[in-house]
Chain A
Amino acid sequence: MTRPYLALGLAGPHLIELTASRSLLARWDALPLAFSVLGIDRVDGSAPAATTLASSAVGATLAGATRHGRFFVTATPQRDHPYNIARRVASLAHLSRGRSGLLIGVRDAYAPAGPEEAPAWGGAGLGGGTALDAQTAFDAARAVRALEQSWPYDTIVGNRETGVLVEAHRIVHVDLANRFSIAGPLNAPEPATGASVIAWYAATPADLAPTAEHDPIELVLGAAGTVPVLPLGQEPPPGPWAGLVLRAGLEQSVDALLDTAERWLAEGLVAPVAAGGSLRAALRLPAPAPLAATARAAFPVPQPHVPPSHPSGRHP
Chain B
Amino acid sequence: MTNKRSGHVLLGINVLVLGYLPAAWKTPLLEKDAFINPDYWANLGRAAERGTLDALFLADGPLLGNPAHDANPIRLEPTVNWGQVAAATSHVGLVATASSTFNDPFELAERVLSWDHQTGGRAAVNVVTTRGVPAARNFGLPDIPQRDDRYERASEFVDVVRALWASAATGQEVHHHGAFFDIEGRLRVPPSRQGQPVIFQAGGSPQGRALAGRVAEGVFAAELTKDQAIAHYKMVKGLARDHGRSPDDIKILPGLLLSLGSTEEEARRRCDEIHDAGPASYSIGWLSQAIGYDASTLELDAPFPEEVLGPLKNSQTFLGSIGFRESIVTQIRKTRPTVREYLQQTRYTGSGHAGFVGTPEQLADHIEDWFHAGAIDGFNLQPDRLIDGLDVIVDELVPILRKRGLYRHAYETQTLREHFRASAPTAAL
A→B interface (CB under 8 Å): 12, 16, 19, 48-54, 56-61, 63-65, 79-81, 83-84, 87-88, 90-92, 94-97, 110-113, 115, 121, 123-128, 151, 153, 156-158, 160, 163-168, 171, 180-189, 192, 298-299, 302-303, 305, 307-308, 311, 314-316
Residues of A within 8 A of B106 (CB): 79, 111-112, 123
Q: How far is the CA of A96 from the CA of B36 in the complex (A)?
A: 10
Q: How far is the CA of A168 from the CA of B61 in the complex (A)?
A: 18
Category for how many chain B residues contact A: 35 or more
Max count, chain B CB within 10 A of own CB: residue among A87, A171, A180: A87
Closest 3 CB pairs of A and B: A60-B83, A158-B32, A64-B87
Are A95 and B84 within 8 A (Cβ)? yes
Are A87 and B68 within 8 A (Cβ)? no
Return the contact of B139 from the options A81, A97, A113 (Cβ within 8 A).
Answer: A81
Can you give 20 contacting A-B residue pairs, CB < 8 Å?
A: A50-B188, A60-B79, A61-B87, A84-B103, A88-B79, A92-B80, A110-B110, A111-B110, A121-B104, A124-B102, A156-B33, A160-B26, A163-B69, A165-B68, A180-B140, A186-B64, A305-B279, A314-B276, A315-B280, A316-B339
| Interface presence of B134 (CB below 8 A) | yes
**Contacts A51-B190, A112-B185, A166-B67; is A64 near B84 (CB within 8 Å)?**
yes
Residues of B within 8 A of A110 (CB): 110, 188
Mask: chain B, 87-127; 1 = CB below 8 Å from A; 0 = not: 11000000000000111101100110111011000000000
Q: How far is the CA of A112 from the CA of B104 in the complex (A)?
A: 11
Query: Would you call the interface of chain A mostly helix, strand, loop, or mixed?
Result: loop
**Contacts A64-B83, A88-B77, A128-B140; is A58 near B180 (CB within 8 Å)?**
no
Q: How far is the CA of A315 from the CA of B339 in the complex (A)?
A: 11
Residues of A within 8 A of B339 (CB): 316
Return the contact of A123 from the options B81, B181, B190, B340 (Cβ within 8 A).
Answer: B181
Are B25 and A158 within 8 A (Cβ)? yes
Mask: chain B, 166-189; 1 = CB below 8 Å from A; 0 = not: 000000000000001111110011
Residues of A within 8 A of B76 (CB): 87, 90-91, 94-95, 188
Return the contact of A113 from the options B73, B134, B180, B184 (Cβ within 8 A).
Answer: B184
> Given contacts A96-B38, A168-B66, A187-B63, could you give 17 more A-B pairs where the C-beta distance is less than 8 Å?
A12-B188, A56-B79, A60-B118, A79-B104, A83-B138, A84-B103, A95-B81, A112-B185, A124-B103, A126-B101, A163-B279, A166-B67, A184-B138, A298-B64, A307-B276, A314-B280, A316-B344
Mask: chain B, 267-287; 1 = CB below 8 Å from A; 0 = not: 000001000111110010000
- A81 to chain B: closest residue by CB: B139
| Interface presence of B215 (CB below 8 A) | no
Q: How far is the CA of A53 from the CA of B86 in the complex (A)?
A: 16
| Interface presence of B141 (CB below 8 A) | yes
Return the contact of B104 from the options A59, A124, A298, A303 (Cβ within 8 A).
Answer: A124
Are B84 and A60 within 8 A (Cβ)? yes
Are A64 and B42 within 8 A (Cβ)? yes
Q: How far is the CA of A299 from the CA of B31 in the complex (A)?
A: 24
Q: B8 → chain A, closest Cβ, in Å?
A: 29
Q: How far is the CA of A189 from the CA of B64 in the complex (A)?
A: 10
Are B79 and A64 within 8 A (Cβ)? no
**Contacts A63-B84, A95-B76; is A163 near B26 (CB within 8 Å)?**
yes
Residues of B within 8 A of A12 (CB): 188
| Interface presence of B41 (CB below 8 A) | yes
Residues of A within 8 A of B183 (CB): 112, 123
- B78 to chain A: closest residue by CB: A91
Q: A92 → chain B, closest Cβ, in Å?
A: 6
**Contacts A186-B64, A316-B343; is A54 near B85 (CB within 8 Å)?**
no
